[in-house]
Amino acid sequence: MPTNLLKVYPALLELNDLNITQRYESLQRIFERDVANNSQFKFNGKKIRPLKVEGVVDMEVLFKHLTTEEDEDETGIKLGSRSFDIHRSNRLHFIKPHIDDKIEDSIRLFSYNDRKEGRTYTRTYIYNLKEKYVIVLESQRSNTDYYLLSAYYLYKEWGEKAMKKKYKNRLLDVY
């Protein structure tokens, strides 16, 4: 379990032989090191913060979002619950080097206007073509900081196609 703290990009974390408690502790240590307790967690000079839920910063919600995925039924309808996602989890330590711009792989950095529930949100994507890995940031209304929304591996068949479509329709500037 402590060896996961030593893993560096692009090696994957070793989670398969850990029980649920050990896996949670291992991932939590990486999250605290790279995100929660990282005073230099910035991208393009802007501080990255978790979303506030009812005015309160909830690191546990962000952690859960970075290590689980939304459950869906057979038809693709979201069920409102989340389950452990090995693909997100064993790449949790990929976030920091991508944010720190320390990756030599082919990266596409772009902003895109996403529509959700009738509203438009400008989101910035850090898309690693080689590793099929995406980090999603959203500029705060003040435009001085970012929210970290998600980070995930594009393993589903429609994932890369959707990302390429967003890139094709990207905004001229990165926000």
Chain segment 63-89, per-residue pLDDT in tens: 999 999 999 998 888 899 999 999 999
pLDDT beyond 60 at 1? no
Q: In the structure, what pLDDT confidence band is assigned to residue 5 with cuts at 50, 70 and 90?
A: very high
Report angle CA 132, 137, 141 to the nearest 5 degrees.
165
pLDDT in tens, 14-68: 999 999 999 999 999 999 999 999 999 999 999 998 876 656 667 888 999 999 9
pTM: 0.92
